[in-house]
Amino acid sequence: MKYFPEGLALGDYFLNRVTERDYLISRIKSNKHTILMAPRRYGKTSLVTKVAGEMNLAYCSIDLLAAYSEEYVRNQIVNKVSQLVFELFPNLDKAKSKLITIFKQMKPEISVGAFGQKLTLNLSNYPLQDITDVLLKLDETAKNFKKQAVIFLDEFQQISQLVNHNSIEASIRHAVERSENISYVFSGSDRHLLQQMFGDHSRPLYRLCQTLTLERMEKKVYIERLQKLAKAKWKKKLADAVLERIFIQTELHPFYMNVLCQIIWEENHIPAAESIDRIWHNYVIAQRQIISSDIMKLSLNQKKIIIALAASPTTEIQSTNFTAPLKISASSAQQSTAILRKNDLVYKDIDGFFRILDPAMRYFLNVIL
């Protein structure tokens, strides 16, 4: 039985995020665009999917993870938009002629296939123009039927890796800033690249959006839910010490909270605090290959820093206390930490401590090696 999803958290699985939900809902209602920033597996996709579902809006998610050319980006956008249009009106028979008029330039054809209605659009030899056109036509359709829609562009930073990224970004901006009924949410797992795309004044998307940042959730968010599920599973509540071991091992990282709890909830007997440590230990060992390959990519100084931070987080990366045992200069420590933070391997917590972002990696370096 699935108690804790490794994939998207939807329905009852989705906890909290009240402020973030309210903020995103208000942005969408006023048709403003948002960039959602968080390290990997903090709940970006879950949040947007949840909000779009709650608002009962037409919604599509476009994943640009594999973007390798402007044609690919165009095709992904056109494909998703040609499905999304059908959510914008109640009855195709009445809407058909309007739809054909709006998309006229792209020689639209409407057909019924295995996956429902389908709008086929004729693509031009100018992918960038197609991107702008199809997004603007979608907005026109939404306006015509007095509907709103949300487009979620995930792993959006992949565009910045393409040779002509500036032109692609410009064609997206052109449509987004003109849109009146479509609200855009941009997100991705490389915050550094996203920050450059939206924060650098020489880039086309500069200042197009406000940023929403996701942090880890507090213990109290989880306690009620875990106790409810403990009762459902073992007819008893978990001891405080057990909860505490779960929080200590996962450091409240949303993905690891779910992974660890799912394994715990597969136990026949209600676990004791020591069992939590044993389960976590075995889980991290099983992740050895993935974690080692991340560590092997690091430079010597980055390795030194990450191992030192796994053992003891610090607020003072450049202090002699921290650097002397590592035999590196204060400036190298600073530089290496900056790269580790940029790559989301290290983060600064709210109390100013530099920590390893991934609790499994922290445990692996600290306990298993």
Ligand X SMILES: Nc1ncnc2c1ncn2[C@@H]1O[C@H](COP(=O)(O)OP(=O)(O)OP(=O)(O)O)[C@@H](O)[C@H]1O
Residue ranges in contact with Mg ion by CB under 5 A? 45
CB of 47 to ligand X, least distance (A): 6
Closer Cβ to ligand X, 164 or 213, answer by number: 213
Task: Tell me if 14 contacts ligand X by CB under 6 A.
Answer: yes
Q: How many residues of this chain bind ligand X (CB under 6 A)?
A: 21
Q: Give the binding range for ligand X (CB under 6 A) out of 3-11, 107-115, 143-151, 360-368.
A: 3-11
Structure tokens at 350: 């709210």
Backbone angles phi, psi at 355, to 5 degrees: -135, 160
Residues 6+ apart with CB under 8 A from 28: 34, 51, 55, 57, 148, 150, 183, 185
Torsion of CA 230, 232, 233, 236, to 10 degrees: 50
Closer Cβ to ligand X, 10 or 311, answer by number: 10
Could you give the string, one character per residue 154-193, with x where binding to ligand X holds by CB under 6 A and - elsewhere? -----------------------------------x----
14's contact among Mg ion, ligand X, none, with CB below 5 to 8 A by partner kind, is ligand X
Closer Cβ to ligand X, 14 or 89, answer by number: 14
Query: Locate tokens 């976590």: which residue?
Result: 280
Q: Give the binding range for ligand X (CB under 6 A) out of 6-14, 229-237, 270-278, 295-303.
A: 6-14
Query: Locate tokens 């290290």: which residue?
Result: 346
Structure tokens at 205: 């998307």
42's contact among Mg ion, ligand X, none, with CB below 5 to 8 A by partner kind, is ligand X
Cα 166 to Cα 136, 163, 169, 206, 327: the distances in Å are 19, 8, 5, 11, 42
15's contact among ligand X, Mg ion, none, with CB below 5 to 8 A by partner kind, is ligand X
173's contact among Mg ion, ligand X, none, with CB below 5 to 8 A by partner kind, is none
Task: Tell me if 336 contacts ligand X by CB under 6 A.
Answer: no
Taking CB under 6 A as the criterion, the residue among 28, 35, 37, 38 binding ligand X is: 38
DSSP single-letter state for residue 319 = S
Closer Cβ to ligand X, 17 or 355, answer by number: 17
Give the integer Cα–Cα distance in Å for 253 and 361: 12
Q: Are strands 346-348 and 354-356 parallel, antiparallel or unpaired?
A: antiparallel
CB of 154 to Mg ion, least distance (A): 6
Residues 6+ apart with CB under 8 A from 8: 45, 46, 49
Could you give the string, one character per residue 234-273, with x where binding to ligand X holds by CB under 6 A and - elsewhere? --------------------xx--x---------------
Sign of the alpha-carbon torsion through 161, 162, 163, 168: negative
Site for ligand X in 44-63 (CB under 6 A): 44-46
Taking CB under 6 A as the criterion, the residue among 27, 43, 204, 302 binding ligand X is: 43
Task: Tell me if 15 contacts ligand X by CB under 6 A.
Answer: yes
Cα 316 to Cα 5, 146, 361, 366: the distances in Å are 37, 55, 21, 20
Closer Cβ to Mg ion, 45 or 301, answer by number: 45
CB of 136 to Mg ion, least distance (A): 27
Q: Give the binding range for ligand X (CB under 6 A) out of 2-10, 77-85, 121-129, 260-268.
A: 2-10
Closest alpha carbon to 283 in 194, 202, 364: 364
Q: What is the CA radius of gyration of the chain?
A: 24
Give the integer Cα–Cα distance in Å for 190 and 40: 8
Number of H helices, E strands in the chain: 16, 9
Give the integer Cα–Cα distance in Å for 266 and 229: 12
Task: Tell me if 17 contacts ligand X by CB under 6 A.
Answer: yes
Length of the chain: 369
Residues near ligand X (CB under 6 A): 5-6, 8-9, 13-17, 38, 40-46, 189, 254-255, 258
